[in-house]
Structures are given as structure tokens and as C-alpha cells.
Amino acid sequence: MSATERAVELTRAAAAAADDKLAVDIIAFDVSEQLAITDVFLLCSASSPPQVRAVQDAIEKRMIELGVKAVRREGEREGRWVLLDFADIVVHIQHHDERVFYALERLWSDCPVVPLA
């Protein structure tokens, strides 16, 4: 089974919102085969804690416009790695240093990439 159409739609909207705030290295993985709790992981990077927060705000605003609210948020205060759980998709907004250190792409590299454009 692959990610639902709704999950892909939300992923593309979140990626566009992140891109609008100049997030980089935006990539999405279809994790629906490996995880029962979500369909897609969206990863993106920012260069500073204020930019991480700006990306977070833009994504949450776009999701609200689509009728979706985060069911869980983590890491807001530090602004180094913010996790936004929208049930169908989970967004990871990471400072560049955290992105390199944790290398989530390697962990999920066996999963199909969701085309964003």
C-alpha cells in the first residue's frame, strides 16, 4: 500500500510552504509500508532557529487552510528540530546541523520518494 492521495496533497502543500520560507533540501518519503501511524515523512532544513520557526508557521498556516491541524508538535522552543504531526504526514524541520547529524534520509532511504513538483 502506498501513501493516500490526501497525504500526497498535504505533503506537496507543506513542501511549497516550506519552500516559500526558503527551506532547503526538501524531500518526502512514503513510509506507509513501514509505519502504521503515518503515510509520509517530509524533511526540510533551515539555517537558523528563527527560520525554523518561520517554516513551521508557514506550514501550519497552510495546513489549517486545508482543514488540517497538527495533532502533535515537538521542539518548538529550541527551534533546532521541529516535528509537526498532521496524522497523514509528519514534517521534520531541522536546522542544518541537526539534519547532517541525524541524517534521517539514510534511515528512510529504502522508502519511495514522493515527487513534490
Domain spans of the chain, in order of start: 5-107
Cut 0.85: pTM above it: yes
Identify the pLDDT of residue 60: 98
Q: Which residues of the chain have pLDDT under 50?
A: none
Q: Which residues of 95-111 are buried (b: 16+ CB within 10 A; e: fewer)?
A: bbebbeeeebeeebeeb
Identify the pLDDT of residue 1: 61
- Residues paired with 40 in a beta bridge: 30, 89
Pick the CATH number of 5-107 from 3.10.105.10, 3.30.460.10, 3.40.720.10, 3.40.50.300: 3.30.460.10
Identify the pLDDT of residue 117: 79
- Could you tell me where the beta strands, DSSP code E, fall in the chain? 24-30, 40-46, 72-74, 81-85, 89-95
Cβ atoms of 67 and 14 within 8 Å: the answer is no
